[in-house]
Amino acid sequence: MAPEEELFESCKQYLDTPEAIGLDGIDLEKYIIASYTIKRPKGMNVNYLSRFAAIEQSTGTWVRVPAETEEVRKKHVARVLGVYELPHLEYIIPKDVKERIYFVQIGFPIVNIKGCGIPMLLTSVIGNISITHGLKLVDLAFPKDYLKEFKGPKFGIDGLRKLLKIPERPLLNNMVKPCTGHTADVAADLVYKAAVGGCDVVKDDELISNPSFNTLEDRIVKVMEAVDRADSEKGEKTLYTINITGKFPEMFEYADKMIELGANALMINYLTAGFEAMRAIAEDPSIKVPILGHMDFAGAYFGGHWTGLTSMITLGKFPRMCGADTVVIPAPYGKAEILDERYEQNLKVLRYPFQHIKPTLPMPSGGITQGMVEKTMKEAGKDILIGSGGGIHSHPDGPTAGAKAFRQAIHAVMNGIAVKQYAKDHEELGKALGVWGTGKTALIE
């Protein structure tokens, strides 16, 4: 008998006792509903495994303990709401089947974790069971009473549009390149060139924060001077999202100091810094500027086929709940590796109605060039922040021309003109298409 089977046999009586009920049997306003995919050997009874997971993540352990009374269980135990096999076998298990795949839903009482934030939410829904082979958290559905503690974005899509005075077209972002190793003077020069060319947002790369060769204080002063100069020349506003990611409590001090020195936006690597770190800054009433959430480290969360949690939680629901006004997401057009279906879901999760929480602006990114604008807008719509690094800085005529080429492509699509056609009369766009065309970029920029 396999070790897992011995464990289930040893506590079978325990596992037979918890309430295993359907969605119709609970008050949905009192539970967070977690959905999982589970892949197990064909001889495993996933009904038992699901109940074991529910107990393990709420009131109990592998065997019944005296203090886990019926009263405790009634109020605090997680409940299995559904176990569905894919395909749903009814009569026999075919001989060629070695593993079986399931979709499982478990309800977690919000009373167990209400007010404790994302750390205890993750501990409850994908804590110890995260080491279970073949189990992945697919989605979370939240009741209003739980979600009301999260304020979400201060600006969101509408707020960013109002701030930048751009009512309709997609916004354009540039990432400063090189990613790191440059001085504050170089950063200021590159930001100016991208901004004056038409970028609405220019961001630090995620790989630079407060190094000795380019400190936050030096960078914010010099870059904001460059932004002011660019804005006065182009007659448009530019946001510069300076990356304040760091250790605690310095990161929170950075936020205050950057605002004091004139920052008009902030950037946080929210997965390495922590969801609640970004949330604390976003919900601070003294922080009155937009926040860009960067997705680096995301693959460690959702990269496993049968482990971790999905990208629409990692890149969508959690950063939106924790206050990101815009979030970088991988796009399937460029160097990023993401399925079209996942990309579509992530766009939806960031923008769809989510109780009181404002929509977050998606920022498709990862090797996007001017020739991809048509496809990007067709598939993602206008409520996006188009992200480009190398596609702007590596333009044959420099970053200002690279930014102009993007704006030309956006203008063409907004007016129903084919980008290739528009490029014939617009030099910057024509040269960009001449270098990169309209297809997918290489894996490395």
Q: Which residues are catalytic?
A: 177, 294
362 within 8 A of 324, measured Cβ to Cβ: no
SS3 for 108? strand
373 within 8 A of 336, measured Cβ to Cβ: no
Beta bridge partners of 84: 103
Stated as kind and residue range, the H or E segment containing 221 is: helix 216-234
Beta bridge partners of 39: 101
Q: What backbone phi and psi angles, to 5 degrees, belong to 36?
A: -130, 155
**375 Cβ contact list (under 8 Å, min separation 6):** 333, 438
293 within 8 A of 361, measured Cβ to Cβ: no
Stated as kind and residue range, the H or E segment containing 85 is: strand 79-86
SS3 for 332? coil
**87 Cβ contact list (under 8 Å, min separation 6):** none
Helices marked H in 77-174 — which ranges?
Answer: 117-126, 144-147, 156-164
